[in-house]
Structures are given as C-alpha cells and as structure tokens.
Amino acid sequence: MKRLLALALLLGTAAAGPVLDSAIPAAAAAPAGDDPPAAVVERRVLGHSVSGRPIRAWRLGEPGQRRVVLISTMHGDEPHTRRILTSLREGRPIRGIDLWVIPTYNPDGLARHSRRNARGVDLNRNYPHDWVDLDGRYESGAHPASEPETRAVMGFLRRIDPVRLISFHQPLNGVDTDTKDPRFARRLARALRLPQVRLDCGGLCHGTMTSWFNARFEGSALTVEYAARPPRRRMAIEAPRRLLEVLGASRGPR
C-alpha cells in the first residue's frame, strides 16, 4: 500500500509539470533553502537568448508606486554596471518606487565577452525605431527586432509601461542629455558624478532601445555611460545609493 501511495504521488507530481519562475512572487519561485533577497518582491524570465540562456528581471520596491526599469549589459563586453543593479537587488527593501532591474540583457554576449549576441547582432541597433541595415561592429540584424533578446525586452516594456527607463553602458563616461527629459538627465548626471554629454554614436544611433522607447511610450528613457573600469566600490555602493536618491526612493523595512 505504501509503495502504491508513493507511486501515485510521484506520478501526480510529474503530471503537474515544471513550475516556471515567470511572473510569480519571488518567495514562491525560490527553491527550498534559497530565500530571495529582502528587496525582491517578484522575478520573471522575460525570454531566452539565441543560445537559450534566460533573460531575467527582478521586481524591487513597492508595486503601485512610480514604475522604473534599469537595464545593464546590453553589450556583453560592458559588464561592470551590473554591480549597480545586483547591489540594489541584494540589499534591503526599497521604498518609494516600483523598481525593476535587468542586470544581464545579453547573457550570450557576456559569456563570450562580446558586444554582440550569439548571432553577431548589436542588440542596441536592432530596435524598430529608425532601424537601418548596419554591418560590422554595429550589425543591426536581418530586420528590426530580429533577435529573441530584443523581442523579450520589448514585450516586457510594453506590459509594464514604466515612467522611466535607464540603460547602463560603458565606456563613454557620461549621462546623455540629448534625450526626452534633459532636465532629469542633468539631475542624474550630478547625482552619479558623471559628465553631461550628447551621445550621437558618431551618426550610428539607429535602432536603439532608448530611441524606440522615447518614440512610443509616454515615459522617458536615457543612457548612462561609465568608464571602462569603474572602481568596484563606486558600482556596488555609491552609484546604487545616489541612484535611489535621485529617483526619490530609499531603503527601509517593508
């Protein structure tokens, strides 16, 4: 009888199928003995890269507040700004905003230490707005939104419709003020102790994520560039604290 009961339970579990950690509370998604950080209230798998690696987003802060998205490592050879986002995720609860972080947009590029994804496409030239056919370092793909990483993040942004989107890059060292909300860009530059710059990509800023967002959403998007090798303390401690301050958020008990 015990053997039959155990077999029935095993078959019932198998029939139920796998539990996905997409759009479910972080506590429910975490494996036993692997409690999520206190700041995390939800996590999602937005999609998968060309090579099948998951693209993950973590929700921090307070649902119902102003919604902000932070994205890093769109280019796999620009890895250091991930520390800003992971420090926000790993720290104490965040109050005052509804914050989503995507620390690794391009997991295949990160694994290969390559600017582009596994198909050789620059994901920041693959968006539909003002897309043109570029080759070489800025290869823009077979057509707009040809890459699974692009489609995953586009779908996510459409679903949550944030008021602000901040995209972190390297190594140009500055905050782009040539954007939809230059006043906020200047405040952010002062808060992060970065120069105010105009990033025109040498005339090759076609099909970028921020231009697509600014053209199609009510909210605003901008680019933040750090230097090639920013100090670890600056990424892990100083930048997260100053970023929360300029966004009107703070750390504290939930």
pLDDT band at 110 (very low <50, low <70, confident <90, very high): very high
pLDDT tens digits for 2-59? Answer: 333 333 333 333 333 323 334 434 433 443 345 778 899 999 999 999 999 999 999 9
**Which pairs count as long-range contacts for 133-138, CB under 8 Å and 24+ apart, including other chains?**
134/204, 134/206, 134/207, 138/204
Class of 22-251 per CATH?
alpha beta
Residue 136: pLDDT above 50? yes
For the chain, domain boundaries: 22-251
Residue 98: pLDDT above 80? yes
The DSSP symbol for 105 reads S
Q: What is the separation, in whole angstroms, between the first and last Cα of the chain?
A: 48
73 touches 53 (CB < 8 A) = no
198 vs 225: CA distance, rounded Å: 11
pLDDT tens digits for 174-219? Answer: 999 999 999 999 999 999 999 999 988 778 889 999 999 999 999 9
The DSSP symbol for 132 reads -
Mean pLDDT over all residues of the chain?
88
**Percentages of the chain per state (helix, strand, coil), in multiples of 5:** 35, 20, 45
pTM equals 0.87
114 vs 116: CA distance, rounded Å: 5
pLDDT band at 68 (very low <50, low <70, confident <90, very high): very high
Instruction: List phi, psi (to 5°) of 187.
Output: -65, -40
Please state the rounded mean pLDDT for residues 66-79.
98
